[in-house]
Amino acid sequence: MNRSLKIFLFYSKLSLKTIIQGKLGIFLFTLGKIFRFVFLLSLIYLVFSKTRLVKGYSLDQMIVFYLTFNIVDTTAQILFREVYRFRPMVVSGSFDLTLLKPHHPFFRVLVGGLDFLDVFLLIPTIILTIYFILKLPGITLLPTAFYLLLIANSLVMATAFHIAVLALAILTTEVDHTIMIYRDLTALGRFPMDIYKEPVRGIFTFIIPVGIMMGFPPKALLGLLSPTFFLFSLILSTMLFLISLKLWNLALKKYQSYGG
């Protein structure tokens, strides 16, 4: 574990050095992220404050759903930003050098490029989430523990998807479109799945598990998630993670050096 942590910190240090070289880019990128976050939060407030309840949810509850989505989405972007840069490694053949290193290639291609810029957005998002959770009536320790556990479970699902993207990049040399599809689909999780009509609600809960990733944690917090669905989400994330590892191993067997 100590060796793995040192490798992870080493790659994180290199990523930080790369990021701070473009100070103007840092400013503009961070400003754009903040503007988008504030704009969407304001939009939610303007839309949902006009009515007392939306599908049984109050304004504060809707904001918790939105903030939870941002915690999961931003954390995944912080951890897995290097996935966006994987295609050139496969096409150029430099992935060979990663495979030759005496550590697991995931240290380089999955978590080898932490996005420190998003950390500045994650911290205020967590603070806002805590504030709005404390405003909710009847929140106790047990639902909060379930909420945190399901956020971790959502990150396992996000990890599985990004590993699958890496595998597909080896098999097809395609990353960008797959990542953008993932981002567009998960964006549906900004709001509870209850606001969507069937069959959209069922598709994006059980077939494409956006609702499980983004909606189940706040539902557990509000006491709206049954034990059956709670266990189902844990089993599903484990299955998706194992399947993604199988796909990764299959892709490595198909990998041909120098993009050949």
Pair of tokens at residue 245? 């590892």
* Least confident residue range of 101-115, 133-147, 155-169, 220-234: 101-115
The pLDDT value given to residue 217: 96
DSSP state of 138: T
**Sign of the torsion angle spanned by Cα atoms 59, 65, 71, 73:** negative
The pLDDT value given to residue 112: 87
The predicted model scores a pTM of 0.88
The pLDDT value given to residue 121: 84
The chain-wide mean pLDDT, for the chain, equals: 87
Is the preceding peptide bond at 199 cis, omega within 30 degrees of 0?
yes
Return the closest-CA partner of residue 214 out of 194, 240, 188: 188
DSSP state of 193: G
Mean pLDDT of 49-78: 85
The pLDDT value given to residue 260: 46
Do 216 and 229 touch, CB atoms closer than 8 A?
yes
How do residues 143-167 score in pLDDT, each as one tens digit? Answer: 999 999 999 999 999 999 999 999 9
Mean pLDDT of 194-215: 90
